[in-house]
Amino acid sequence: MTQDIPSAARTCRVAVVGAGAAGLTAVKELTEAGLEAVGFERRERPGGLWVRDPEGNASPAYASLHLNTSRGRTEFAAHPMPADWPDYPSADLVAGYLDDYARRFGLYDRIRFGVEVTRVERGQDGDGWLVTADGGTERFDAVVVANGHHHDPRWPDPAYPGDFTGEQMHAHDYQDADTFDGRRVLVVGLGNSAVDIAVDASHRAEGPVLLSSRRGAYVIPKYLFGRPADATNGALSGLPWRLRQRISEAALRLAVGRPEAYGLPKPDRGLLESHPTVSDTLLHRLTHGEVAHRPGIARFDGDQVVFTDGRRDTVDLVVWATGYRVTVPFLDDRWLGTGPEELLLHHRVFHLDDPTLCFVGLMQSTGAAFPVVEAQSRLVADVLSGRACLPTPGEQRADAERALRASTERWGGDRRPAMRIDFDGYLAETAAVRRAAVDRARAGQGVRVRVAAPRTIGEER
Ligand SMILES: Cc1cc2nc3c(=O)[nH]c(=O)nc-3n(C[C@H](O)[C@H](O)[C@H](O)COP(=O)(O)OP(=O)(O)OC[C@H]3O[C@@H](n4cnc5c(N)ncnc54)[C@H](O)[C@@H]3O)c2cc1C
Ligand SMILES: NC(=O)c1ccc[n+]([C@@H]2O[C@H](COP(=O)([O-])OP(=O)(O)OC[C@H]3O[C@@H](n4cnc5c(N)ncnc54)[C@H](OP(=O)(O)O)[C@@H]3O)[C@@H](O)[C@H]2O)c1
């Protein structure tokens, strides 16, 4: 039996919040599926965080930022990156690429720029969604949340004890290496922001740049065995991740050795069980003594930092490369529960209480983001156009709980397991989920989210 979720509104309109990679793919796919998609973007152009903002704070991208996922693994299927581009293009090239995508698919006309969504709530009559932006409120049949999750700097909470008399900044506000001229610098964290910023600083700072982390990480060079490292891993994509992990760890050990050989702590989880830290240059700067590792911070003492091994260093500037909080400020707790980092969704996309509330990009991938948001957007378009049917609510919840258990086992309970996806595994699963959803619709089973006039079942896009 098909269980219809009807919509009284007949305009079949979908609001898409954000016009970064995720929002752009959503507007394109929804439009191509015959829905009226309206994008809302608070900045003046598309591209999200890849569009640098040196004068303001609308983007965490810095002057030296390049992709750390390779061109071939990052490009959209619908819009390949130019073949003569480098394997790891700069942020400015990526911003131009997203702008080209928006122009090629006519998305400029469908997005309202310079408009911030401040509230999204269920219509009072229980029908549709009320979207408030720039003081006005409009009704939509469905909403796609694509607001990104690298805007809200995560400072240590609680703050480290003691007083620090030097300057502090978060990686989000870092622009270029002029910041470091002649200063004694400590960078905190061992993620991709930390290692990029430490390397930038190491060319300009006074003395070695200190890089503090409370645990270890594998540092993966951009090239392994003469090709992009993620392509090497991608070649193993048909294998179970545990097997891929063993092979990848052996390959990394062979190519660069163990992290401990560079003075970094031993990672407490295996490769593919923690977010990859990718850098060619960190290992080089460590071996030259221009970057020196320190353990976690114990406390501050005036212009000194005391580390957990008892060592002290004098520092002028601390850069907190401690990541980002995931926030969806325009949705209330009714929809977010204990918070967006823990929110269970059907296939990381559909809200379990109401599939007309969709999320594109609310995930942390082991690989690139663009193919993931493209696949998620295609799934959303299939479902909202009525071409495909979701499993029953009970099955959706059971699937989401199963996925969380597997993810917690792999990534650990304190590392946002609900958001984690394995790049290759997730893309393969999404293809299967889409096929099953179309089959369900053909068989008249599951939940059809009818916000649009139904297409003929079997009609291919
Ligand atoms: C420094 C850095 C480097 C990265 N490098 C890589 C990489 O090499 N490869 C990779 O695949 N991924 C990388 N990522 C991950 C990155 O998040 C994705 O590449 C991609 O940018 C995600 O797109 P998005 O649309 O989800 O988010 P964003 O790019 O953040 O776009 C979200 C958009 O929503 C808008 N918005 C937010 N709230 C509202 C609102 N209330 N109303 C209207 N508009 C709103 C924002 O202005 C923004 O334009 C990196 C992330 C960071 C922080
Ligand atoms: N293309 C690129 O080159 C590039 C560059 C930068 C960022 N990125 C991407 O942007 C995203 C964000 O990266 P990010 O590096 O900013 O954040 P991140 O991946 O969340 O890393 C944060 C780091 O800070 C540490 N940390 C967090 N809280 C801490 C605390 N209170 N005290 C000490 N250490 C703390 C974490 O270590 P613990 O494990 O100990 O918590 C971790 O090492 C990622 O997806 C990343 O891949 C890509």
For residue 243, what is the DSSP state? H
> Which residue bears the tokens 């799934």?
379
Q: Is 197 in the pocket of ligand 2 (CB under 6 A)?
A: no
Domain 167-320 of CATH type 3.50.50.60: yes
> Which residue bears the tokens 């009226």?
36
- What residue spans define the domains of the chain? 2-152+325-448, 167-320
Domain 2-152+325-448 of CATH type 3.50.50.60: yes
pLDDT in tens, the chain (461 residues): 445 554 434 448 999 999 999 999 999 999 999 999 999 999 999 999 999 999 999 999 999 999 999 999 999 999 999 999 999 999 999 999 999 999 999 999 999 999 999 999 998 877 899 999 998 999 999 999 999 999 999 999 999 999 999 999 999 999 999 999 999 999 999 999 999 999 999 999 999 999 999 999 999 999 999 999 998 877 888 899 899 999 999 999 999 999 999 999 999 999 989 888 999 999 999 999 999 999 999 999 999 999 999 999 999 999 999 999 999 999 999 999 999 999 999 999 999 999 999 999 999 999 999 999 999 999 999 999 999 999 999 999 999 999 999 999 999 988 999 999 999 999 999 999 999 999 999 999 999 986 644 433 333 33
- Both tokens of 270, joined, read 């295996």
Q: Is 412 in the pocket of ligand 2 (CB under 6 A)?
A: no
Do the beta carbons of residue 284 and residue 134 sit within 8 Å? no
Q: Is 70 in the pocket of ligand 2 (CB under 6 A)?
A: no
The per-residue b/e assignment along 322-332, b for 16 or more CB within 10 angstroms, e otherwise, is: bbbebbbebbe
- The CA distance from 264 to 283, in Å, is 10
Same fold for the domain at 2-152+325-448 and the one at 167-320? yes
- The CA distance from 72 to 227, in Å, is 11
Q: Which helix (H) or strand (E) holds 240?
A: none
Report which protein residue has its CA nearest ligand 1's atom 15.
Answer: 369
Full-model pTM: 0.95
Do the beta carbons of residue 291 and residue 199 sit within 8 Å? yes
Ligand 1 pocket mutation, candidates 45, 49, 71, 349, criterion most atoms within 8 A of CB: 49
Instruction: Single out the residue of 323, 84, 54 nearest to residue 175, CA to CA.
Output: 54
185 by DSSP, 3-state: which?
strand
Q: Is 35 in the pocket of ligand 2 (CB under 6 A)?
A: no
Interval between CA 43 and ligand 1 midpoint (Å): 12
Q: Is 121 in the pocket of ligand 1 (CB under 6 A)?
A: no
Q: Is 42 in the pocket of ligand 1 (CB under 6 A)?
A: yes
Do the beta carbons of residue 192 and residue 326 sit within 8 Å? no
